[in-house]
Chain A
Amino acid sequence: GESVGLHLPTLSVQEGDNSIINCAYSNSASDYFIWYKQESGKGPQFIIDIRSNMDKRQGQRVTVLLNKTVKHLSLQIAATQPGDSAVYFCAEKEGAQKLVFGQGTRLTINP
């Protein structure tokens, strides 16, 4: 079936640098995508979402980019902080009620 996947399982960045986390999706009909952050021992936390009629959406220190041509999604975190250390998941909407999650990327921050 259709699935969402991630390019890299781990990403290490220096504190203060920008982080870019990538995600590939396979269902060209998907019209809604979400990024979640999961800290150790906690449930996933909503970060930002984007609809397929948009190419870019910005939040506080985060930006999501959607490239429908190559079915690629990315999450950019500006001025990465130690508190950004977590696993980041992208998810795409399947049908009316469900989300399909990718495997996740672990982001670690080097001091």
Chain B
Amino acid sequence: NAGVTQTPKFRILKIGQSMTLQCTQDMNHNYMYWYRQDPGMGLKLIYYSVGAGITDKGEVPNGYNVSRSTTEDFPLRLELAAPSQTSVYFCASSYLRGGLMVETQYFGPGTRLLVL
């Protein structure tokens, strides 16, 4: 398994531009997440999904949109890039273990975004 993969690895955007960060997992996990990590800080949850067709807001959803049309893919969309969105973005996935609630999350390598 490749696990969680993210593209691109790095991107520079101008203010007002839009882009989509791609995330794919091949572990058949139901749950997927998008986080952002600012320098020297922990991870903040942007959006998450508990299954195809279902998404919900996390702690910092403003300026972002997501969709979950398949189990494998969970793209994150930035419509009007702002300097405050300069960050490293991590996608993660998780699963139900033995009928219990989701626990361990597996992370992708991240996408570094710079908005100028």
Q: A residues engaging B (CB < 8 A)?
A: 32, 34, 36, 41-46, 49, 89, 93, 96-99, 101-104
Contacts and interface: CB of A to CB of B under 8 A. Distances in A.
Contacts, number: 53
Contacts of A96: 101-102
Contacts of A42: 109-110
A43 B108 contact: yes
18 contacts: A34-B103, A34-B104, A34-B105, A36-B107, A42-B110, A43-B108, A43-B109, A43-B110, A49-B103, A49-B104, A96-B101, A97-B50, A97-B101, A101-B42, A103-B40, A103-B41, A104-B40, A104-B42
Contact of B42 (A43, A45, A89): A89
A103 B90 contact: no
Contacts of B101: 93, 96-97
